[in-house]
């Protein structure tokens, strides 16, 4: 377990212009550490993120993207160990191929990629836990009240959705939220927010439901394919 | 064989962690297991009062962690049982007086000598919680059938699983059969539906608990107490016995509710 951030460290984190970013591409998970800014600050931020993600990334392969930043071999192995401590398998981007720069790579992927990366979470997301992903998110379990699931693409819950869900978090209005049982506290798609009706707490179970945007409003209906 | 370290936690305060800890501890000791209770609620210690051992405290958890005394010196032997001990919390210190590593070390020491090490966790998810769970192998989550208590229990289960205490077990405390029947209280199905973990026991709301707590005599020893019976059942289940859930008078209401659900569908 990493130590919790000291107040000083979290203050430093806020002053950073950018933070470390986890990105999901068709090729897999990528960790982008900005080229400029305090290395220590980013490391701290990374630890906080990994701490918050609990065992969410457990066993995943991750490519570390440093851009043009040059770091000493010591720092390199320290970073690798930090990430391994959370159960991930890190590799450095330049170890795979050291030609194309980070920025080009990202743009190219976005252009070409019609299919978003999708990850599957095989557990119940409990209160206070937050799962966010650039791509589609499939949860094999429930999303309990007080939990948040966020995806830039669609969200599928193979269970009961009772927490907060945000699909199309980067503005994709075609994103959808599907659940076996859709009883969320709040759902958001792109910039549209809707909340649960406050009338009957135990409405009749109708079967799987889907939420999507229609005419600027979130519409929830039964899934009928 | 090394002993088992079990943390008793809830997230929300006032749901009965300390009472549960005292009762399970006494129950295990009554069955002949060598048991030690650790009060990890530094600054708000209660377990000693519930056990009726307050006036015997000389050294406490912080002294042990700081190694200003030996573990043996800080352990208080129970009045009733030869094989039940209490390690009290410090009242004048704060939660950060102990570090998780020190708790791990302490638990490792104690498990060599005891069959069961029960840790009474403070409310909240901050330092006190981190200390209490640091050395634990297993966890018992206590909740009451309130929406807020269940929500907090859910959070705690998530945190426990992140710490690789994978299969916490649940005790639903202070269930009021009459209120459940009227539909004014969450029933066991509702709680189970959200938390979805193994149910270790259901303890009915019982006035005798209040008197026994104030007197410093765990209800588990009172043959006439319903809550005491429920805790005896919990102890039985912890020891791997197949104990059917108590036939409280809410059984009828509960079953009929399930039937109603089926009819609705």
- Nearest CB among A126, A128, A205 relative to B265 is that of A205
Angle at A110 between CA A105 and CA A115, to 5 degrees: 125
Query: How far is the alpha carbon of A144 from chain B, nearest alpha carbon, in Å?
Result: 7
Per-residue confidence of chain B (265 residues) as pLDDT tens digits?
A: 689 999 999 999 999 999 999 999 999 999 999 999 999 999 999 999 999 998 999 999 999 999 999 999 999 999 899 999 999 999 998 889 999 999 999 999 999 999 999 999 999 999 999 999 999 999 999 999 989 999 999 999 999 998 888 789 999 999 988 887 777 778 888 898 899 999 999 999 988 888 888 888 899 988 888 899 999 999 999 999 998 887 664 444 455 555 555 554 4
Q: Do residues B37 and B84 make contact, with C-beta atoms less than 8 angstroms apart?
A: yes
pLDDT bracket for residue A12 (50, 70, 90): very low
If residue A159 lies in a helix (H) or strand (E), which one and from where to where?
strand A155-161
Interface contact A128, partner B, CB < 8 A:
yes
The whole-angstrom separation of Cα B162 and Cα A109 is: 33
The whole-angstrom separation of Cα B234 and Cα B226 is: 12
Which of B91, B117, B102, B111 is CA-nearest to residue B8?
B117
Q: Do residues A33 and A66 make contact, with C-beta atoms less than 8 angstroms apart?
A: yes
Chain B residues with CB under 8 Å of A143 CB are none
Specify the 3-state DSSP secondary structure of B130: helix
Range 40-59 of A in CB contact (< 8 A) with B: 54-55
Q: What is the pLDDT, as a whole number, of residue A5?
A: 43
Question: What are the structural domains, with CATH classification, of chain A?
Answer: 2-112 (3.30.750.50), 118-222 (2.160.20.70)
Contact yes or no for A205 and B151 at CB 8 A: no
Residue with tokens 């002949």: B32
Q: Do residues A31 and A21 make contact, with C-beta atoms less than 8 angstroms apart?
A: yes
Specify the 3-state DSSP secondary structure of A204: coil
Contact yes or no for A129 and B158 at CB 8 A: yes
Express each pLDDT in A90-120 by its tens digit. 877 776 654 444 444 444 444 434 568 899 9
Contact yes or no for A126 and B151 at CB 8 A: no
- Nearest CB among B155, B162, B164 relative to A127 is that of B155
If residue B38 lies in a helix (H) or strand (E), which one and from where to where?
strand B35-39
Contact yes or no for A145 and B194 at CB 8 A: yes
Is residue A49 pLDDT above 90, yes or no?
no
Give the pairing of strands B138-143 and B4-9. Answer: parallel
Chain B residues with CB under 8 Å of A162 CB are 194
Closest chain B CA to residue A207: B265
Evaluate if pTM is beyond 0.80.
Answer: no
Q: What is the pLDDT, as a whole number, of residue B176?
A: 87
Contact yes or no for B159 and A128 at CB 8 A: yes
What is the average per-residue pLDDT within A143-159?
Answer: 94
Structure tokens at A218: 């979130």
Number of neighbours of residue A15 by Cβ within 10 angstroms: 9
Crossing angle of helices B207-215 and B226-238, in 10° steps, is 80
Which of B64, B66, B91, B65 is CA-nearest to residue B75?
B64
Contact yes or no for A55 and B265 at CB 8 A: no
pLDDT bracket for residue A33 (50, 70, 90): confident
Interface contact A142, partner B, CB < 8 A:
yes
Q: What is the pLDDT, as a whole number, of residue B143?
A: 95
Contact yes or no for B155 and A128 at CB 8 A: yes
Q: Do residues A128 and A148 make contact, with C-beta atoms less than 8 angstroms apart?
A: no
**DSSP secondary structure of A99-153:** SS-HHHHHHHHHHH--SPPEEEE-SPBPTT-EEEESSEEEESS-B-TT-EEEESS
Q: For residue B22, how many C-alpha atoms fall within 13 Å in the half-sphere facing its CB?
A: 29
């Amino acid at each position: 377990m990493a130590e919790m951030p000291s107040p000083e460290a979290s203050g430093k984190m806020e002053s950073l212009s950018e933070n470390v970013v986890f990105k999901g591409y068709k090729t897999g998970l990528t960790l982008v550490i900005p080229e400029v800014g305090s290395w220590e600050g980013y490391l701290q931020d990374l630890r906080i993120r990994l701490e918050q993600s609990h065992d969410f990334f457990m066993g995943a392969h991750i490519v570390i993207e440093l851009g043009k930043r040059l770091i000493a071999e010591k720092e390199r192995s320290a970073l690798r160990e930090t990430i391994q401590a959370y159960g991930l398998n890190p590799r450095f981007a330049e170890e795979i191929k050291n030609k194309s720069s980070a920025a080009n790579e990202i743009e190219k992927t976005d252009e070409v990629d019609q299919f978003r990366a999708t990850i599957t979470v095989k557990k119940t997301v409990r209160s206070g836990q937050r799962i966010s992903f650039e791509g589609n998110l499939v949860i094999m379990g429930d999303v309990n009240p007080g939990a948040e699931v966020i995806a830039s693409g669609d969200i599928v819950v193979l269970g009961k959705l009772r927490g907060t869900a945000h699909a199309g978090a980067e503005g994709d209005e075609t994103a959808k939220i599907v659940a076996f049982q859709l009883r969320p506290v709040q759902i958001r798609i792109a910039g549209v927010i809707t909340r649960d009706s406050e009338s009957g707490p135990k409405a009749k179970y109708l079967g799987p439901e889907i939420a999507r945007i229609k005419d600027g409003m979130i519409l929830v209906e039964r899934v009928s394919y | 064989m090394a002993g088992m370290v079990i943390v008793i936690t809830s997230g929300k305060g006032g749901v009965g962690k300390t009472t549960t800890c005292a009762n399970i501890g006494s129950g295990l000791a009554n069955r002949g297991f060598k048991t030690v209770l650790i009060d990890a609620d530094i600054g708000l210690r209660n377990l000693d009062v519930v056990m009726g051992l307050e006036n015997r405290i000389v050294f406490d958890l912080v002294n042990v962690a700081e190694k200003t005394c030996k573990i043996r010196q800080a352990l208080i032997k129970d009045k009733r049982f030869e094989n039940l001990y209490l390690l009290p919390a410090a009242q004048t210190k704060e939660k950060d007086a102990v570090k998780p590593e020190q708790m791990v070390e302490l638990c490792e020491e104690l498990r060599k000598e005891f069959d069961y090490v029960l840790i009474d966790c403070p409310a909240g998810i901050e330092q006190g919680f981190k200390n209490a769970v640091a050395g634990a192998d297993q966890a018992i989550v206590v909740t009451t059938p309130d929406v807020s208590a269940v929500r907090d229990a859910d959070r705690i289960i998530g945190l426990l699983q992140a710490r690789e205490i994978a299969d916490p077990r649940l005790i639903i405390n202070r269930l009021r059969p009459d209120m459940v029947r009227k539909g004014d209280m969450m029933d066991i199905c509702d709680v189970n539906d959200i938390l979805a973990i193994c149910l270790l026991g259901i303890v009915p709301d019982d006035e005798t608990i209040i008197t026994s707590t104030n007197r410093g005599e765990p209800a588990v020893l009172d043959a006439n107490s319903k809550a005491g019976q429920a805790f005896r059942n919990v102890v039985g289940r912890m020891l791997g016995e197949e104990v059917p859930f108590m036939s409280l008078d809410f059984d009828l209401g509960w079953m009929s509710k399930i039937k109603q659900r089926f009819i609705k569908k």
